[in-house]
Amino acid sequence: MDIVRIQDVPIDVNEGIAAIIDERAGGEAIFLGTVRNVFEGRASRGLFYEAYRDLAEKEMKRIEEELKREFDVLHVVMVHRIGELALGEIAVMVAVSAAHRHQAIRACEAGIDRIKSRVPIWKKERWADGKTAWHDDPEAGAGQMR
């Protein structure tokens, strides 16, 4: 089964694993992106995510189709959470199954790389000092954000 979804409730890893398990599969690769307590050397207390949901889900669906075509994977799960996330919480899950392990791992890595580079989702850092800043905001200061 495939799942492509933006959601504002916590991500359930078991839902993703149940969706990709298949008797034809020898390998399942799962990637979880979680909220770090530091970004570029500065202490953080969490992240806020927003998405342009219609286009984001459409783009994730395209990535799903690319992974199936390029890596010969059986099932693809891509779920991204939005809203306020605490440290350690899961922001994104990518899970794929394939006949062989390297296909699964390569596809999983391509999945998260393409989500990060193409899907219209943005994160705002909530710094430990109380300030906030969107990632890639040119006015946030080169020393603070890339």
Partner 1 sequence: MAEITVLFFSYAADRMNGRQHRYTIEPGTTIGDLYRQEMEERLQQPVAAFMFSVNAEWAAPSQILHDGDEVAVIPPVSGG
- Where on the chain is the footprint of a copy of itself (CB under 8 A)? 13-14, 17, 21-38, 87-88, 97, 99, 101-102, 104-105, 108-109, 112
- Of 27 and 121, the one with the shorter C-beta distance to a copy of itself is 27
Which of partner 1, a copy of itself, none interacts with 109 (beta carbon under 5 to 8 A by kind)? a copy of itself
Query: Contact, 133 vs 127, CB < 8 A?
Result: yes
Q: How far is the CB of 28 from a copy of itself (least distance, A)?
A: 4
Give buried/exposed letters for 41-74 (b at 16+ CB in 10 A, else e).
eeebebbebebebeebbebbeebbeebbeebebb
Q: Which two tokens stand for residue 36?
A: 């770090």
Name the site residues for partner 1 (rule: CB under 8 A): 33, 49-52, 54-56, 58, 80, 91-92, 101, 112, 115-124, 134-140
